[in-house]
């Protein structure tokens, strides 16, 4: 199709992804692609919507028309509105898990679901062994996109074999590169003062995954044969690495060079260079080295650039390198093998004719990767997406029946949470909406509040850090180093009422600490939470409360999402989960599918814990027990008339064979059911569990025995429960936090784990 006809169809293209001057590979790629498309298609307007990872953002060029805030899910919805009303004909998304907010970058789904125009997504990471969140997000992105672009054949194979995407939907377009001449390395060496030297080069944002230390380890052997070699390490430390670890990695490389006696042959250029400067550095290199440590890399801009510039390349065998350097376009060496690396460098330097033949093969291969060629390929993909959307258009913004358009969740309002929180922590009780100083504070409630703060951070709330700091400080103060247990009750005068709190308060504290460590992206919280978690974890083994085990297991699960290699945490998880399963198997019968001889409080936490452990250990018996017991509990807590949620009452609970207490109904029961049912949906993808979670949440909003709202929309608080004749008008911490946790988890699930029906609204 000729440019004249295509430009008449697609007039306005929006690119979503990072953008220069943000310093990362995705920003460079998005900027280059956007500029290449604009240059190749006169009459087409290209705009960009980058994602900011800092509050201040960046000094973007005029092409940037809207800025998203990484952790603020509402900014993604606003971006969708912006694109819909600005006559954008097509959106080109650059997808990488780490640049978007939410678990596994799930916030981007909030944008994609609202768009009215075709979507073409370039996938920069395709994992062979994704965790459940990563798999779900990529499947959702693939389902919402009209076409997918990959940069390697392996990427296409993964999409079809692992994620079950139709091959007809996938286009293989190489990573774009600048069009540079095939020049002798000596032409540029005087720019860097390395005339007469043989130059080895590695470039990119520095992080421990780059494996630069293995090249430094190889240098003594290389210099023994070729003393005129210098190794240039080009690039500043990755901003996210610098934020958490400073320059520790760069300094470790410098110290290693001194220890190996090669400091005179290693040049660090600590800076983010322009494209023109980068071309000069690449031009000066005799051999380019990518010593990455991880096989699971589906693309690499640095390798594409150097290959296309006609460089001799030595690389470890990560996926993209295996494909790009085939047919003698480069050399592969084993991971973490400095002797093998040294040997290949020496052989290439000794064989000048062979090295230049390799360079020529690489350069010729790269002619199909220059940006004008890549831009034309993208344009063809855009046209195909547009044509397919016309013939197979999505339902879009048609009117939907009520079952396709569930009630909107109430707005998030934190007034009462702030009202109940002082400089010490969150107070336990309230008289109506006024904090009750007489009752003081509990670790239970401050742990709940810390979990809510972590969920607020997931949704990009700006108050999350300040609140989390206050609640974490309380839990730190509650920890008794002598007993290795948490105290629970504290007076308003800040004196403790006991040396050790309940088993449940210990389990809840571990739940909160594990959640901070597993999901928070705030390094300032990690050190304190990490120390507390490590110190307090062993004591949970000596507890006897199954609910305490369940609370702790949920926290351990969150913790192991980030620190999967922690042997002790894994052992504690297996022990506690085994106890829960054994309890269930001992007490279960056909008419009593439960863990104990009675149901009391926070009942759904136990099946919730077995579900997450069954998934992660893995253990099919735990999943089966979790689903069976949760289904039994859901049916037990269903009204005969109306089908609304009726939690087990706290005024007597429910003993096997005895009467069931209908009142007082407590908000924590609804929260526990919401959390457990959302987990059941993650495990099964069965729509019934989404409906059960909504049913439990609607109890807060008035779908209950009295048809009275427990949630207070004026303050954002929650009443303390439901009596036989009226709600309890006191808005305490436990109740308010139960409502907020349920609301926030549903909001996150609405973005990440929606059913087909919910996604179509």
CATH code for the domain of 615: 1.50.10.10
Mean pLDDT of 337-350: 97
Mean pLDDT, rounded, for 1-24: 75
Residue 397 maps to a domain:
no
* Structure confidence at residue 403 (pLDDT): 45
Do 151 and 75 share a structural domain? yes
| Distance (Å, whole) CA 639 – CA 647 | 10
Same domain, 661 and 536: yes
Kindly state whether residue 398 falls inside one of the protein's structural domains.
no
- pLDDT of 346 reads 97
**Two tokens at 661?**
């207490």
Residues in the chain: 761
Are 609 and 679 spatial neighbours (Cβ–Cβ below 8 Å)?
no
Q: Are residues 548 and 468 in the same domain?
A: yes
Residues 329 and 213 in one domain: yes
Query: Does pLDDT of 28 surpass 70?
Result: yes
Structure tokens given for 435: 């904090």
Q: Using one digit for the tens of pLDDT, what is the confidence trace for 684-734?
A: 999 999 999 999 999 999 999 999 999 999 999 999 999 999 999 999 999
Question: What percent of the chain has pLDDT above 90?
Answer: 80
Q: Long-range contacts of range 55-64, CB-CB < 8 Å, 24 or more positions apart?
A: 58/19, 58/21, 58/22, 59/21, 60/19, 60/21, 61/20, 63/34, 63/38, 64/19
98/214 same-domain check: no
Global pTM reads 0.70
Domain match, 699 and 748 both: yes
In a domain, 694, yes or no: yes
- Calculate the alpha carbon distances from 509 to 108, 225, 512, 609, 624 in Å: 31, 60, 5, 15, 28
161 and 191 inside one domain: no
Asked if residue 760 has pLDDT above 80, the reply is no
Do 472 and 334 lie in a common domain?
A: no
Residue 526 included in any domain: yes
Confidence of residue 540 (pLDDT cuts 50, 70, 90): very high
Distance CA 616, CA 624 (A): 14
Q: What is the pLDDT of residues 461-486, one digit of tens each?
A: 889 999 999 999 999 999 999 999 99
Angstrom distance (rounded) from CA 556 to CA 376: 50
pLDDT in tens, 79-104: 999 999 988 999 999 999 989 998 88
What mean pLDDT comes out for the span 639-651?
A: 94
pLDDT of the residue at 398: 36
> Is 33 among the domain residues?
yes
C-alpha–C-alpha distance, residues 677 and 684, integer Å:
10
Average pLDDT over residues 186-200: 90
pLDDT at 404 over 70: no
518 pLDDT more than 70: yes
Kindly calculate the radius of gyration of the chain based on its CA atoms and give it in whole angstroms: 29
Q: What is the reported pLDDT for 395? A: 39
Q: Is the dihedral of CA 292, 298, 300, 303 positive or negative?
A: positive
Query: What is the domain count for the chain?
Result: 3
Residue 30 belongs to domain with CATH number: 3.40.50.2000
- Kindly state whether residues 278 and 351 are assigned to the same domain: yes
The whole-number pLDDT of residue 522 equals 86
Residue 715: predicted pLDDT: 93
**110, 204: one domain:** no
Last residue of a domain, one of 333, 360, 391: 391
352-365 and 338-350 are packed helices; what angle lies between their axes, rounded to 10 degrees? 100
Q: What is the pLDDT of residues 358-402, one digit of tens each?
A: 999 999 999 999 999 999 999 999 999 999 876 444 433 333 343
Average of pLDDT values for 676-680? 97
- Does 452 have pLDDT greater than 80? yes
Q: Would the pLDDT of 753 be above 60?
A: no
Domain match, 354 and 244 both = yes
198 plus 257 within the same structural domain: yes
Mean pLDDT of 518-526: 88
Helices (H), 520-566: 523-536, 546-562
Tell me: pLDDT of 413 over 80.
yes
pLDDT at residue number 699: 97
Residue 399 maps to a domain: no
Residues spanned by the domain of 591: 404-759
What is the mean pLDDT of the segment spanning 293-315?
92
Average pLDDT, rounded, for the chain: 92
In tens, the pLDDT along 575-591 reads 999 999 999 999 999 99
């Amino acid at each position: 199709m000729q440019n004249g006809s295509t430009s008449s169809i697609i007039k306005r293209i929006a690119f979503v992804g990072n953008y220069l001057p943000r310093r990362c590979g995705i920003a460079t790629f998005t900027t280059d692609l956007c500029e290449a498309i604009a240059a190749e298609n006169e009459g087409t307007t290209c705009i960009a919507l980058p994602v900011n990872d800092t509050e201040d953002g960046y000094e973007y060029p005029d092409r940037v028309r809207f800025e998203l805030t990484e952790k603020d899910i509402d900014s993604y919805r606003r971006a969708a509105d912006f694109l819909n009303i600005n006559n954008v004909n097509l959106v080109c998304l650059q997808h990488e898990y780490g640049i978007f907010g939410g678990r596994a970058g799930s916030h981007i789904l909030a944008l994609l679901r609202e768009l009215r125009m075709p979507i073409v997504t370039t996938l920069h990471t395709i994992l062979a062994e994704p965790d459940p969140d990563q798999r779900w997000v990529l499947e959702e992105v693939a389902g919402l996109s009209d076409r997918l672009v990959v940069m390697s054949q392996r990427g296409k194979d993964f999409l079809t074999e692992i994620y079950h995407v139709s091959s007809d939907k996938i286009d293989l377009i190489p990573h774009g590169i600048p069009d540079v001449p095939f020049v002798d390395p000596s032409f540029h060496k005087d720019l860097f003062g390395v005339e007469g030297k043989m130059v080895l080069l590695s470039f990119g944002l520095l992080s421990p995954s780059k494996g630069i230390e293995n090249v430094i380890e190889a240098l003594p052997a290389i210099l023994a044969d070729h003393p005129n070699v210098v190794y240039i390490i080009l690039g500043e430390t990755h901003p996210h690495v610098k934020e958490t670890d400073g320059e520790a990695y760069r300094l470790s490389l410098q110290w290693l060079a001194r220890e190996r006696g090669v400091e005179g042959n290693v040049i660090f250029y600590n800076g983010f260079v322009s494209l023109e400067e980068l071309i000069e550095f690449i031009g000066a290199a005799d051999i380019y080295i990518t010593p990455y440590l991880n096989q699971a890399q589906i693309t690499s801009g640095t390798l594409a650039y150097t290959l296309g510039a006609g460089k001799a390349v030595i690389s470890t065998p990560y996926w993209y390198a295996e494909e790009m350097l085939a047919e003698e376009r480069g050399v592969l060496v084993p991971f973490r093998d400095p002797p093998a690396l040294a040997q290949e460098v020496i052989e290439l330097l000794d064989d000048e004719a062979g090295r230049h033949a390799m360079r020529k093969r690489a350069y010729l291969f790269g002619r199909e990767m220059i940006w004008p060629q890549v831009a034309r390929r993208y344009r063809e993909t855009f046209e195909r997406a547009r044509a397919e959307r016309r013939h197979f258009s999505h339902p879009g913004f048609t009117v939907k029946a009520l079952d396709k358009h569930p009630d909107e969740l109430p707005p998030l309002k934190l007034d009462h949470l702030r009202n109940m929180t002082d400089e010490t922590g969150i107070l336990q009780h309230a008289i109506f909406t006024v904090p009750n100083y007489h009752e003081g504070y509990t670790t239970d409630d401050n742990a709940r509040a810390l979990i809510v703060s972590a969920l607020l951070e997931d949704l990009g709330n700006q108050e999350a850090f300040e609140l989390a700091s206050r609640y974490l400080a309380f839990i730190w103060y509650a920890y008794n180093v002598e007993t290795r247990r948490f105290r629970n009750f504290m007076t308003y005068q800040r004196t403790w009422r006991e040396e050790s709190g309940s088993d449940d308060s210990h389990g809840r504290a571990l739940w909160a600490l594990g959640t901070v460590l597993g999901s928070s992206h705030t390094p300032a919280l990690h050190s304190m939470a990490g120390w507390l978690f490590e110190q307090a974890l062993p004591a949970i083994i000596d507890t006897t409360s199954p609910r305490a085990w369940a609370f702790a297991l949920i926290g351990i699960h969150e913790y192991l999402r980030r620190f999967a290699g922690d042997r002790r945490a894994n052992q504690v998880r297996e022990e506690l989960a085994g106890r829960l399963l054994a309890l269930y198997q001992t007490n279960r019968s056909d008419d009593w599918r439960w863990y104990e001889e009675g149901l009391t409080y926070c009942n759904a936490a136990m099946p919730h814990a077995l579900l997450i452990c069954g998934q992660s250990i893995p253990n099919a018996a735990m999943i089966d027990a979790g689903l069976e017991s949760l289904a039994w509990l859901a049916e037990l807590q269903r009204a005969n008339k109306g089908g609304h949620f009726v939690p087990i009452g706290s005024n007597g609970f429910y003993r096997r064979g005895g009467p069931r207490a209908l009142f007082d109904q407590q908000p924590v029961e609804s929260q526990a059911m919401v959390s457990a049912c959302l987990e059941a949906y993650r495990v099964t993808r069965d729509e019934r569990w989404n409906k059960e979670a909504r049913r439990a949440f609607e109890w807060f909003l008035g779908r209950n025995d009295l048809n009275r709202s427990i949630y207070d929309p004026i303050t954002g608080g929650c009443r303390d429960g439901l009596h036989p004749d009226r709600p309890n008008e006191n808005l305490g911490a436990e109740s308010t936090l139960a409502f907020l946790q349920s609301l926030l988890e549903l909001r996150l699930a609405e973005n990440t784990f929606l059913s087909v029906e919910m996604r179509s609204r």
